[in-house]
Structure 1
Amino acid sequence: MSAEDAAEVADAARTTRGGDAGARVADRLRHEILAGEHAPGTRIRQEDVAERFGASRVPVREALRILENEGLVTLVANTGAWVATLTLAECEEVYQMRERLEPLLLSYSAPHLSPDDLADLAELAERMAATDDLDLFLGLDRKFHLASYRGARTSQLGELVTKLWNTTQPYRRAYTHSIDADARRIMHDEHHLLVSALRDDDLEEAQRVLASHIRRTRRQLSRHPELFTDLGAPR
């Protein structure tokens, strides 16, 4: 056995003894990327991640594979890993997919949302409307929408929607920091309208509000092409 092979075996053994270390590293990197700590196009060096998190090479590689599957990281064979980027055209395509798929996912979820689930959504909508902290708003907004889908019993659609959210998050973050008070008020109104429609068991109205909500963001993003040159590094 070569020295390199022996190191791989030792790494694997440490991962096994330490539990699912790759998932733990992925959790921490995911949080950092979604929080905007690593901009699109930023290189992720395995050795830096291993040193920061006190992990060996095997779990770091596994973490990066997990994040690639989630749409957050791009891996290039024999080259390295980068935070995923989108062009404006790609972002518009993803938003058009969301505009069609998320109302479908909501239709699977809505019949299974309990009164407590709806109360949680209403509380999240109130918290979003009450804060001027845009980073807090973004976290609450993601939690709100994904919580509205928690009742869905699907094998693939839920994971796909989450991946689409992941890929657009950095650009939506930059866009949200640039919008005015009127645009934020419209977003808050749409959140409240969505909760009201769900409480009234009016799925058609809930789907209409949701599709319009996503479409509005897509159209606003299309007016800011500079977000995609400022945030995304050359490929």
Structure 2
Amino acid sequence: MEASVIVTETSAPAVPTGAPGGGGRDNVPVIRERLRADILGGRLLPGAQISQAGVAAEFGVSRGPVREAFRLLERDGLIEARVNHRARVTGLSVHELEHLYTLRVVSESLAVSVSVPAFTGDELDELDRLGEVLRTTDTATFDFDTWDEVHQRFHMLLLAHSGAQMLGTAAEWAAHTQRYRRVFAEEGRGLPPGAGEHAVLAQLCRDGDGAAAARLLALHLSRAALTLIAQMAPTYDPVLLRAGIRQVLGAESRP
């Protein structure tokens, strides 16, 4: 790939070739989703610069759909774009991390509690299988991308019967936290915390105990968040996250 498309400190290209040509709005979601996947998947690092002209040339389109794709990515908080300047992938922020996990703690604990009574036998079997894969992952051969694909499937299956809108929103928040989990893994810390809790969550779902599953999921997500926050900013006080945990767990919470 030409350096004019993406400029990063590591000079790592991100936008692959083979994109459709043309200049219409039909190309906007294609461009947006490709760049979004590269940002969330760690192929475009925080601070990487993206050129409108370079992306347009790579996809064989005019700048119109690229500008629109950039606008949507900026709305999603994934890039910072200025007129007549290259866009830049947004940096990691402890404030964003806390906000995302607070939303996940509160909403996903509710979603799993209403999903538990509706799980089918096949869904429970799949939760057991995925939970066991996550529990028994070998830290010596741990690969983040492979592990996180299973991890995301497990967490979305927990919410399977909470409604399409809840599922879509939860999936978006989870995708955004992927950038932070990746940093934890790639700095040599291995598996994210609480890997063994997935199998316990699966068992609680099989037992039909939605309240217990909701409490454990809230603790599971909050522990992951607090670990990442401590890594990023050891003196930061996650007031919002603690309030979210208390809302779910009540007096029993001691985050």
* Short-chain TM bin: 0.7 to 0.9
Counterparts of 1:78 and 1:189 in 2: how far apart (Å)? Answer: 49
Structure 1 residues 203 and 71: alpha-carbon distance in aligned structure 2, compared to 1, 3 A threshold: farther
Structure 1 residues 89 and 21: alpha-carbon distance in aligned structure 2, compared to 1, 3 A threshold: closer
Q: With the length of structure 2 as denominator, give the TM-score of the two structures.
A: 0.69
Deviation per residue, 1:63-110 (Å, 9 max, x gap)? 333434444334445645332334223322332232222212223433
Counterparts of 1:147 and 1:67 in 2: how far apart (Å)? Answer: 27
Q: Does 1:198 align with 2:218?
A: no
Shift of 1:179: 6.1
Give the match for residue 72 of structure 1. 78
Structure 1 residues 66 and 176: alpha-carbon distance in aligned structure 2, compared to 1, 3 A threshold: same
Structure 1 residues 222 and 125: alpha-carbon distance in aligned structure 2, compared to 1, 3 A threshold: same
Instruction: Name the % identity.
Output: 32
Deviation per residue, 1:189-231 (Å, 9 max, x gap)? 111111111121111111111111111111211221279xxxx
| One-letter identity of the residue aligned with 1:123 | R
Normalized per residue, which structure has more helix?
Answer: 1
Whether the 8 Å CA contact 2:116–2:209 is kept in 1: the answer is no
Q: With the length of structure 1 as denominator, give the TM-score of the two structures.
A: 0.74
Q: What's the Cα RMSD here?
A: 2.9
Whether the 8 Å CA contact 1:26–1:63 is kept in 2: the answer is yes
Give the match for residue 147 of structure 2. 137
Counterparts of 2:76 and 2:116 in 1: how far apart (Å)? Answer: 24
Which blocks of at least 5 consecutive residues in structure 2 are unaligned? 1-21, 235-255
Shift of 1:119: 2.6
Counterparts of 1:84 and 1:178 in 2: how far apart (Å)? Answer: 19
Which blocks of at least 5 consecutive residues in structure 1 are unaligned? 1-12, 228-235
Structure 1 residues 113 and 43: alpha-carbon distance in aligned structure 2, compared to 1, 3 A threshold: farther
> How do 1:1-235 and structure 2 match up within 5 A?
14-15=23-24, 20-76=26-82, 79-128=85-134, 129-130=136-137, 132-153=142-163, 155=165, 157-178=166-187, 180=189, 187-225=194-232
After the TM superposition, list the runs of 4 or more consecutive aligned residues in structure 1 that deviate by more than 6 angstroms.
none
Shift of 1:25: 1.9
Counterparts of 1:108 and 1:162 in 2: how far apart (Å)? Answer: 17
Structure 1 residues 168 and 188: alpha-carbon distance in aligned structure 2, compared to 1, 3 A threshold: closer
Structure 1 residues 92 and 125: alpha-carbon distance in aligned structure 2, compared to 1, 3 A threshold: same
Counterparts of 2:128 and 2:59 in 1: how far apart (Å)? Answer: 37
| One-letter identity of the residue aligned with 1:202 | D
Structure 1 residues 188 and 166: alpha-carbon distance in aligned structure 2, compared to 1, 3 A threshold: closer
Whether the 8 Å CA contact 1:194–1:206 is kept in 2: the answer is yes
Counterparts of 1:212 and 1:192 in 2: how far apart (Å)? Answer: 14
Deviation per residue, 1:155-206 (Å, 9 max, x gap)? 4x4443333323332121111334656x65x633111111111121111111
Structure 1 residues 64 and 113: alpha-carbon distance in aligned structure 2, compared to 1, 3 A threshold: farther
Higher relative contact order (CA 8 A, sep 6+): 1
